A and B are shown apart, each in its own frame.
Chain A
């Protein structure tokens, strides 16, 4: 297979290369998604640009109430990170349900987001965290909501001379919890049939919903999205069995799922409702147990 490879050692080398060659290149870091597609002939780049050696884009830090994650941070970096508190359970859960240890050691945050499909676990999580992405080029950068970055299946708004450099989000407030779960055909190493990320903030009574963000791997189409209509049902209300029931009904109405060879729409919808109920309850319990957490 005639593919060239370029391994930049510095940011300057990368962006200089992308200015003139970006349109016929594919950026690759962990390559866990892209390489199999290249071998199957589904992607035919002239050049692969392997950015995995650019350590400057591998970090997790907090600055002025914002969590910033370098796009070349691996899934292992994310899941083993002791820096983000218990509230970010969604990220720690990935240490159990994202791939396997060797894959987590290789796969990167940026690669998962840029793959832009309903199979990418990080997208619902970062949508629930209301994240933004930083797209960097030779002379400038721009930050846009993750929702705007994802345009279609395997299509993003990344320009040919840009690198997805960072994902960031405002720290979770006190009395908040963010978790994630996915359901597939087995326990581990699964492509999600349904996945749900839930970020819940309760008032100090630990019952009334101050804020809630729900993101699933599929809502109206075949891409991860927020379930905003369902969120509205919950906002400002006491999270009790009645309201959970209403939210499940709202989700059923909001979802426009389709059947495929993996699962039927009816199954996916039912599983989504079950996950919604379970994860909201779980978040509520954890907030109640952990008390008034600092972010």
Chain B
């Protein structure tokens, strides 16, 4: 539980990065198009660049910092590394956040379902193929655990 004062029209993204020092969510476009700022708000993904922080009293927010840790990577993070799905890394926090949210509700997605779930996360580096493979790999591992 954290308590923070926010200014009138401050965005969740700004609060996370500037006031809570959570630099995982990134500002890519500021319009909700690119997905680099994706976080999980009360079990749903949202673009944090479009969420007014003042409305969030009592809400639960998960950023990439809350998914796995340096000591114990989440299966998605392991899979992204092993699949070679990371290049510059800028889109990855948002990608993994969206992928985690998908697997939370759909542990056995098809490739098409993975692509649809990630449709709001743009990547300029990888061409998405290895990202989709990584999510499928992680889903299989998580099912077998």
Chain A residues near B (Cβ < 8 Å): 1-5, 7, 28, 30-32, 35-36, 38-39, 48, 50, 52-53, 76, 96, 99-103, 105-106, 188-189
Contacts and interface: CB of A to CB of B under 8 A. Distances in A.
B117 interface: yes
A24 to B, nearest CB: 14
A184 B37 CA distance: 24
A100 B35 contact: yes
A189 B121 CA distance: 10
A48 B8 contact: yes
Contacts of B32: 32, 36, 99-100, 102-103, 106
Interface residues of B, number: 26
Interface in B43-82: 44-47, 50-52, 54-55, 57
Contacts of A38: 9
Contacts of A100: 32, 35, 119-121
Contacts of A32: 32, 47, 50
A189 B55 contact: no
Contact of B44 (A4, A53, A76): A76
26 contacts: A3-B8, A5-B8, A5-B52, A5-B54, A7-B55, A28-B52, A30-B50, A32-B47, A35-B9, A35-B11, A35-B50, A36-B30, A36-B31, A48-B8, A48-B9, A48-B52, A53-B55, A96-B116, A99-B32, A100-B32, A100-B35, A100-B121, A102-B45, A102-B98, A105-B46, A106-B50
Contacts of B140: none
Nearest to B121: A100
Contacts of A50: 52, 54-55
Given A4-B8, A50-B55, A188-B119, A105 B45 contact: yes
Interface in B84-134: 98, 116-117, 119-121
A102 B120 contact: yes
Contacts of B51: 31, 106
A53 B8 CA distance: 16
A31 B41 CA distance: 15
A189 to B, nearest CB: 6
Contacts of A7: 54-55, 57
A3 B52 CA distance: 12
A85 to B, nearest CB: 23
A7 B11 CA distance: 14
A99 B35 CA distance: 11
